[in-house]
Amino acid sequence: MQNLRKQIMALSLAAAVGGAWAQGAAPAAPDLAAMPDVKPGNAAMIELGKYFFFDNRISGDWGVSCATCHDPKKGWGDGQALSTGYPSMEYFRNAPTVLNAKYRGRFLWDGRLDGTDAGTLARDMITETHTMNMDSRLMQERLKQVPEYRELWAKWRKDDINGMRVYGVIGEFIRSLETANAPFDKFKKGDAAALTAEQKEGYAVFRGKAGCVACHNGPIGSDGKLHKTGVPEHPDVLKNPLRTITMLRHYATSGMPNYMNARSDVGHYAISKDKRDLGKFNTAQLRDLKHTAPYMHNGVFATLEEVIDFYDKGGGVGSVLKPLNLSAAEKKALREFLLTLSGDPVIVKDPGQPDLQVWTTYGKN
Ligand code: HEC
Ligand code: HEC
């Protein structure tokens, strides 16, 4: 009550002071930005991280590497609506691209990890039953028995290969992968001819009538926040027992109350246990959509046309969005504009897997 009264007083005060004051205090309208020019990361870590990213021996049964689900040839995702997950499991969400990890405010579809910590994300991918099902100490011992890895490590540090640092190394590698040469970046940096008239029209729709920019802003087109847009469930999650099992196990591990009865993807609620977060998901980035179909947390939309139709109708059940009434020309322009945020495919060649060899000279490299 006390707080409410204070709020009302503050509001009427702002109103009394008037429009000029309110305008002066208003933050700049959000917009998309060009990819920042940044210093490259630690070269020795990135080189080592590249090897680890493609090495399936960092998964429990050697069945998968990071690249199995984040394949450079498939926009660093797996091209499927729903991820296959670790062998014997099937996952209940889409495997997103790892491009531009450096600019994510939060990681994962339900936003359960802080975007500044790519090392922790790598750790979770490796140790989580659903993805690589690996024990940290086992991983450390396996990597130590690869002479090439010890040599590469020595270029970076004097100590032995250490599990915790391996996560940081992989994190540094994914932080080095980013959209390159997108027409939108050239446009933002002053080349007016980098976008066609239709693409510019699409940008105006994006910022104006369609209001996409409210959530999709900054260099990668994500505010790093959670929103409820009401994306429909993917039918296979509840038809396929293996996917249902994975979903319920994720809820159980997160300590979600009454999780056994859940039959939908509750999004951030499983993490926060706050009912207001039911069905809220992390704003997806809009970079490299050209290479990352299908779309949304469950890949339920195969094309950008479907995504735009979804927004045009005001999103799905319980959405915070309003219908847009876009004309066919506006929809097409919007789609053409979205594609200007994509760059050249970022391809890193699989460096191959150097052999294991028993390390006899303990402590000496
Ligand atoms: C078996 C498939 C699989 C493997 C293997 C895998 N991932 Fe993932 N990855 C996923 C799925 C599925 C998600 C989304 C999970 C979610 O949001 O619930 C994801 C999410 C991510 C994200 C978050 C991207 C974002 O913008 O939110 C990053 C980064 C990532 N993985 C990196 C890695 C790295 C590094 C490795 C190897 C250490 C790895 N992944 C191994 C399937 C996999
Ligand atoms: C209220 C915030 C909000 C607004 C406004 C909004 N989005 Fe989104 N967008 C999201 C969220 C949250 C997701 C992830 C939803 C999910 O997966 O369930 C998303 C996902 C997407 C994706 C999927 C990307 C991928 O890689 O899977 C595209 C494309 C997209 N939005 C485009 C748009 C366009 C175009 C508009 C304007 C017509 C728009 N969005 C308006 C919040 C918003």
- pLDDT in the model for residue 29: 87
- pLDDT in the model for residue 14: 38
Q: Give burial (CB, 10 Å; 0-12/13-18/19+) of 193.
A: exposed
Q: How confident is the model at residue 38 (pLDDT cuts 50, 70, 90)?
A: confident
Atom 11, ligand 2: residue with shortest CA distance? 283
- pLDDT in the model for residue 25: 56
Atom 30, ligand 1: residue with shortest CA distance? 98
C-alpha 236 – ligand 1 centre gap (Å): 20
Average pLDDT over residues 123-137: 96
Counting ligand 2 atoms within 8 A of each CB, the residue from 83, 212, 301 with the most, and so the one to mutate, is 212
Atom of ligand 2 nearest to the CA of 214: 5
Q: How many CA atoms lie within 13 A of 111 on its CB side?
A: 23
C-alpha 322 – ligand 1 centre gap (Å): 32
Question: Are the C-beta atoms of 341 and 287 separated by less than 8 Å?
Answer: yes
Residue 281 Cβ < 6 Å to ligand 2: yes
Question: Are the C-beta atoms of 250 and 278 separated by less than 8 Å?
Answer: no
Question: Are the C-beta atoms of 334 and 204 separated by less than 8 Å?
Answer: no
Atom 6, ligand 1: residue with shortest CA distance? 66
C-alpha 222 – ligand 1 centre gap (Å): 18
Q: How far apart are CA 326 and CA 311, in angstroms?
A: 10
> Given phi > 0 = left and psi -120 to 50 = alpha, else beta, which region is 15?
alpha
Is the predicted pLDDT of residue 21 greater than 50, yes or no? Answer: no
Structure tokens at 301: 């939309």
Is the predicted pLDDT of residue 58 greater than 70, yes or no? Answer: yes
Is the predicted pLDDT of residue 2 greater than 50, yes or no? Answer: no
- pLDDT in the model for residue 364: 54
Ligand 1, pocket residues at CB < 6 Å: 64, 66, 68-70, 83, 85-86, 91, 93, 95-96, 98, 101, 104, 107-109, 121-122, 125-126, 131-132, 170, 174
Q: How far apart are CA 65 and CA 98, in angstroms?
A: 14
